[in-house]
Amino acid sequence: MKKQLHKKLHEKLVTLLFNAKAGHIGSSLSCLDILTELMVYTMKKDDKFILSKGHAVPALYVILHYLKKITTKELATFHMDGTKLPAHPSSYYLAKDIPFATGSLGHGLSLASGIAQSYKYFMKGKNKNIVYCLISDGECNEGQVWEAAQYASHFQLSNLIVLLDKNKFQAFGRIENVLGDSATKEKWEAFGFEVLESDGHKIDDIQSSFKNALSSQSDKPKIIIFDTVKGHGISFMENTLASHYDVLTPAQYDEALGDLNKL
Amino acid sequence: MRAEFAKTIQKFAEKDKKLIFLTGDLGYSAFENLRTSIQERFINAGVAEQNMLDVAAGMAYTGLNPWTYSIAPFLILKTVEQIRNDICIRNLPVKLVANGGGYGYGVMGATHHILEDLSILASFPNIKLFIPAYSTDIEPIVSKMNKYNGPSYLRLGLSPLKSSSYSGFRNVQKGKKATVIVLGPLLKNVLEAKSILNQDIDVWVVTEIPFKPPIEFYKSIAYTKRVLVVEEHVLHGGLGHIITNDLIRKSIKTKFTHIFSKRYVSKLYGSQEFHLKESGLDAKGISKNLKQLLNG
């Protein structure tokens, strides 16, 4: 059942991007399973989610459509003139579910920390709510990520769970060839986080990593480092830099659907 | 003005439990009382200004009332993108309090000066800028910022002057020979220049951007046909540009002189007064420009 939903959302996402002639397919597919488990099966009312890697917003749109926060008519306007759903989130729409217009990397963890600190220390009745933030491994190049990591750790934002989509690629190369792996377990531990690791596509693994993070009694903020595949589910796109940019041709779209059918 | 600000914000913070004060590791011998008074709502966010402003944006999103503080360039230059994307376009009530407007940090050097803040910030949506001229302006300005449900910026300087009234665009002294418009605390030098010349000058002080001048201001220019703008900010995008744009749009013809910061004329460093003098923004430089305008 769950597996069927994951498959359906993969198909929906790829169709959305194909129809819109849009890119960022690889980066959206690498986090789709994580976001589905998070938003459909894990988050509670008044929990918050910040998508710091804003270029993966098509994955978020597809899930919010499934959750009836975005209408079918609205989703059909994605990427087009006059849309509320641009290729990086809007500042003017869906503020409850997409609190900030991300797209410039590095901002999300600070924004999420502000919400988490507010909930934990200053807002009555919200101290049980969790703030989630999805970042990417390439994004860990940004200095602000580490400013935020020090901050979240110092202020013991134990209600903050960072989800790291480690797909091993950034915009113009493999992470090890650009600045090296900025997203290691050791680095995040050194910055005072409780670090969990999980496969980013096996549903049971994702779910048990959420359970472990949520049941932790530690005062530390948590990070789950998800081992993911860029372009997950489409054979000719998996682990390629091109999947960050390329738009599917009709023949590729058919092939992609064939691949996804085997998921 | 920092001492007045510290006292005033403490008063507001003691009344409003949603007020959070974040500092970028600055405020030694200024904010100790505030810290003692509001305890966990006083946050030293460390030397990490980009993070501090986005934390504040996150807090404002949840309904808190965050005030942030640092030395002006660290608060608003290192963080231009956070201010634009997460505070101004998002229209959240994050308060930016910057110490050391213009050459305020003097011999500390160029890294500590801010001469471009109005140009950058006034080009962003929703934000209101406040440049107090009198030490007594702090309380009404903090009150306005606290009520405004959008972003705001406070440029703190030094001023020995006091006034019993407040308005964002004020007539300070009436006169008939020329109309002088001055930004914030440079009012002191303008008033000194006026007494050096002993002439009948109409003096206006601007402490808010954007502003809407009263009809008397335009009447003054129509009568004097001589305008002098004085500001501790570079030419581009400052008060002079705003005023000239307004006058041209209204087809008002006048003689016009503008004294602004020319950055580091001699490439030597010194006190705020030293740098103001180099740009002709001291009382003597202003009086010299004013004299030429009156005789022109």
Record: contact B41-A122, CB cut-off 8 A: yes
**B149 and B266 in a common domain:** no
Whether residues B132 and B223 fall in one domain: no
Give the full edge-to-edge strand order of the sheet including A48-51: A48-51, A131-136, A160-166, A222-227, A194-199
Tell me what the mean pLDDT of segment A129-158 comes to: 98
B118, part of any domain: yes
Rounded Cα distance, B23 and B65, in Å: 14
- Range(s) of the domain holding residue B173: 169-295
Which of residues B104, B135, B156 is at a domain's end?
B156
**Three-state SS sequence of chain A:** CHHHHHHHHHHHHHHHHHHHCCCCHHHHHHHHHHHHHHHHHCCCCCCEEEECCHHHHHHHHHHHHHCCCCCHHHHCCCCCCCCCCCCCCCCCCCCCCCCCCCCCCCCHHHHHHHHHHHHHHHCCCCCCCCEEEEEECHHHHCHHHHHHHHHHHHCCCCCEEEEEEECCEECCEEHHHHCCCCCCHHHHHHCCCEEEEEECCCHHHHHHHHHHHHHCCCCCCEEEEEECCCCCCCCCCCCCHHHHCCCCCHHHHHHHHHHHHCC
Give the number of domains in chain B: 2
Overall average pLDDT of the A191-213 stretch = 98
Cα separation of B214 and B219, whole Å?
9
CA–CA distance, B151 with A227 (Å, rounded to integer): 39
* A:182-211 residues touching chain B, CB 8 A cutoff: none
Q: What's the rounded Cα separation, in Å, for the pair B225 and B256? A: 8
B67 Cα to chain A: minimum distance (Å): 13
**ipTM rounded to 2 decimals:** 0.97
Q: Using 50, 70 and 90 to split pLDDT, how confident is the model at A136?
A: very high
Which of the four pLDDT bands, split at 50, 70 and 90, describes residue A255?
A: very high
Nearest-Cα residue of chain A relative to residue B83? A107
Nearest CB neighbour to A114, from listed B41, B50, B59 = B59
Can you tell me the mean pLDDT for B219-225? 98
For residue A111, list chain B residues with Cβ-Cβ distance below 8 A. 54-55, 57-58, 61, 86
- Give the per-residue pLDDT at A120: 97
β pairing state of B255-259 and B226-230: parallel
Residues B21 and B137 occupy one common structural domain = yes
**Same domain flag for B146 and B197:** no
| Residue B183 is assigned to a structural domain of this protein | yes
Q: Is A243's Cβ below 8 Å from some Cβ in B?
A: no
Indicate if B14 and B148 belong to the same structural domain: yes
Q: What angle do CA A61, A222, A243 make, to 5 degrees?
A: 40
Residue A222 is predicted with a pLDDT of 98
Per residue in B66-123, pLDDT (tens digit) is 999 999 999 999 999 999 999 999 999 999 999 999 999 999 999 999 999 999 999 9
Q: B46 and B100: one domain?
A: yes
pLDDT > 90 fraction of chain B, expressed in percent and rounded: 100
CA–CA distances in Å: residue A32 to residues A39, A166, A168, A201: 10, 13, 16, 8
Domain identity same for B222 and B272: yes
pLDDT higher than 90, residue A124: no
Q: Give residue A78's pLDDT.
A: 97
Q: Does A94 touch chain B (CB under 8 A)?
A: no
> Is residue A78 within 8 Å of residue A61, measured between CB atoms?
yes
* pTM, to two decimals: 0.97
Mean pLDDT for chain B overall: 97
Residue B231 lies in a domain: yes
Q: Given strand B255-259, what is the order of strands in its sheet?
A: B169-173, B201-206, B178-183, B226-230, B255-259
pLDDT digits (tens, 9 = 90+) for B167-190: 999 999 999 999 999 999 999 999
According to DSSP, the residues that pair with B208 across neighbouring strands are: B130
Distances (CA, A) of A87 to A4, A24, A32, A103, A244: 26, 9, 16, 9, 13
Q: Is the pLDDT of residue A1 over 90?
A: no
In a shared domain, residues B152 and B7: yes
Report yes or no on B161 lying in a domain: no
CATH code, B240: 3.40.50.920
* Min Cα–Cα distance to chain B from A131, Å: 11
Q: Which residue has 């999420």 as its token pair?
A: A112
Nearest to residue B220, comparing CAs of B171, B259, B150, B286?
A: B171
Q: CA A35 to CA A56: how far, in whole Å?
A: 10
Whole-number Å distance between alpha carbons of A43 and A37 = 9
Domains observed in chain A? 2-261 (3.40.50.970)
Q: How far apart are CA A60 and CA A98, in angstroms?
A: 9
* Distance from C-alpha of A83 to C-alpha of A94, rounded to nearest angstrom: 13
Same domain, B185 and B145: no
For the stretch A65-105, pLDDT in tens is: 999 999 999 999 999 999 999 999 998 999 999 999 999 99
- Distance in angstroms (rounded) separating the CA atoms of residues B61 and B49: 18
Q: How many CB pairs under 8 A join A and B?
A: 98
Any idea which residue has 């682990």 for tokens? A239
Q: Report yes or no on B162 lying in a domain.
A: no
Q: Do B48 and A91 touch (CB under 8 A)?
A: no
For residue B201, name the pLDDT band (cuts at 50, 70, 90): very high
Does B141 share its domain with B221? no
Residues B151 and B184 placed together within one structural domain of the fold: no
At residue A203, the pLDDT reads 98
Does residue B6 lie within any of the structural domains? yes
Q: Is B80 on the interface with A (CB under 8 A)?
A: no
Of B132, B156, B180, the position where a domain reaches its end is B156
How far A13 CA lies from chain B's nearest CA (Å)?
A: 27
* Interface residue B20 vs chain A (CB under 8 A): yes
Last residue of a domain, one of B134, B156, B178: B156
Both B16 and B137 in one domain: the answer is yes
Q: Is residue B163 part of a domain?
A: no
Is the residue at B49 inside a domain? Answer: yes
B296 — pLDDT class (breaks 50, 70, 90): confident
Q: What is the mean pLDDT of chain A?
A: 97
| Burial class of A239 by CB neighbour count within 10 A (0 to 12, 13 to 18, 19+) | middle
Instruction: Find, among B258, B190, B178, the residue nearest to B221 by Cα.
Output: B178
Give mean pLDDT, residues A183-195. 98
Here the CATH number for the domain that contains residue B87 is 3.40.50.970
Longest dimension (CA), chain A: 55
